[in-house]
Amino acid sequence: MAVVMSSTCPGLYCGKTLINGSFESECGVCPRGERTNLQKICEKCTESPELYDWLYLGFMAMLPLVLHWFFIEWYSGKKRVQMLSDWYTMLYNPSPDYVTTLHCTQEAVFPLYTIVLIYYAFCLVLMMLLRPLLVKKIACGLGKSDRFKSIYAALYFFPILTVLQAVGGGLLYYAFPYIILVLSLVTLAVYMSASEIQSFKNLVAKKKRLVVLFSHWLLHAYGIISISRLDKLEQDLPLLALVPGPALFYLLTSKFTEPNRILSEGGSGH
C-alpha cells in the first residue's frame, strides 16, 4: 500500500529553504540561525531572546565565576587557617514514511544550548593562558602549591559544567531560578553559621561579611526576578522586598539555636 506524503514538511522543525527567493528545497533541517514559520519555510531568527532567556544565559555565565570565587576563597582561607528540555528536541525528528527519519533538530535550540558550550570553551582557554600569570603576580602571599589549586579545581568543574549543559541543558533552563534560590539560601546560612554571625553587630564588624551578604541578596533578587519574569511589574516588584528576609530571620532566631545553649538547657533538664 502506498504511503500518501503530505506537501507540508512533517515535524516541528523540518522546513524548506528558499533558493533564489522562489524555489524551495526538499524538507530538511533549516540552516543555522533559522527556524520554520507557519508555512514550514525556513526564516532567519531576528527576534531578541526574552528576559527569561537572558537571565538563563546570565546564570550559566555566572556559574564558573561563582565556582572560581568559591575555590579561591577556600584555598586562601585554608592557607590562613592552615586552611524538559530543549536538548531533547531529537524526540521531534519525524519519520513520515516510518522508514526514513528526518533529522531537523540539530540547531533548533541555538543559542541557548550551543552558545553556553562555546562560552565555557573560551573560559577554559583564557583561564589556562591568563590565570597563571595573574595568580603569580597577585597571590604572592600564598604558598606555591596553594596558588594554583583554584586553577586545578577549575580544570575539574569546567568539564562537569559542560557535561551538565550537554546532558541536562533543558532541565537547567526550567529549574535555574529555583536552583539559585535554594543554593543562595543554603550557602548564606552556612557562611553565617561558620563565621559565627549571631547579631547585627557581628555582621557589620567586617566589610567582607557585608560584601558576602549583599552578594547573596543579589542572587536572591536574581532568582525572584527569574521566577516572576516581571510580567506584571505592580505585582512582581514588591516580591523583591523578600530579599533581606532569610538573613533577618537567621539573625533573629540564631540565639535560639546556638548549640551551647541547647546543650546547657538539655543538661539542666529544661
What is the model's pLDDT at position 80? 39
Q: 56: closest CA among 223, 237, 235, 234?
A: 223
Burial call 54-77: b when 16+ CB within 10 Å, e when fewer: ebbbebbeebbeebbeebbeebbe
Task: Look at 75-84, 146-155, 164-173, 231-240 and tell me which has the smallest mean pLDDT.
Answer: 75-84
Mean pLDDT of the residues in the chain: 80
DSSP structural state of residue 75: H
- Given the DSSP bridges, would you call strands 28-29 and 23-24 parallel, antiparallel or unpaired? unpaired
Question: In degrees rounded to 5, what are phi and psi of residue 244?
Answer: -75, -5
In a domain, 261, yes or no: no
> In total, how many domains does the chain have?
1
Looking at per-residue pLDDT, the higher value among 267 and 128 belongs to 128
In a domain, 231, yes or no: yes
In a domain, 13, yes or no: no
In a domain, 247, yes or no: yes
Q: Is the pLDDT of residue 96 over 90?
A: no
In a domain, 200, yes or no: yes
Region at 199 (left for phi over 0; alpha for psi -120 to 50; beta for the rest): beta
Distance of alpha carbon 93 from alpha carbon 106, whole angstroms: 10
- DSSP code string of 96-108: TTSSSPP---TTT
Range of the domain at 248: 48-256
In a domain, 188, yes or no: yes
In a domain, 140, yes or no: yes
Q: Is the pLDDT of residue 92 over 50?
A: yes
Q: Is the pLDDT of residue 258 over 70?
A: no
In a domain, 205, yes or no: yes
What is the model's pLDDT at position 3? 39
Q: 59: closest CA among 135, 133, 161?
A: 161
Looking at per-residue pLDDT, the higher value among 268 and 163 belongs to 163
Per-residue pLDDT band for 26 (boundaries 50, 70, 90) equals: confident
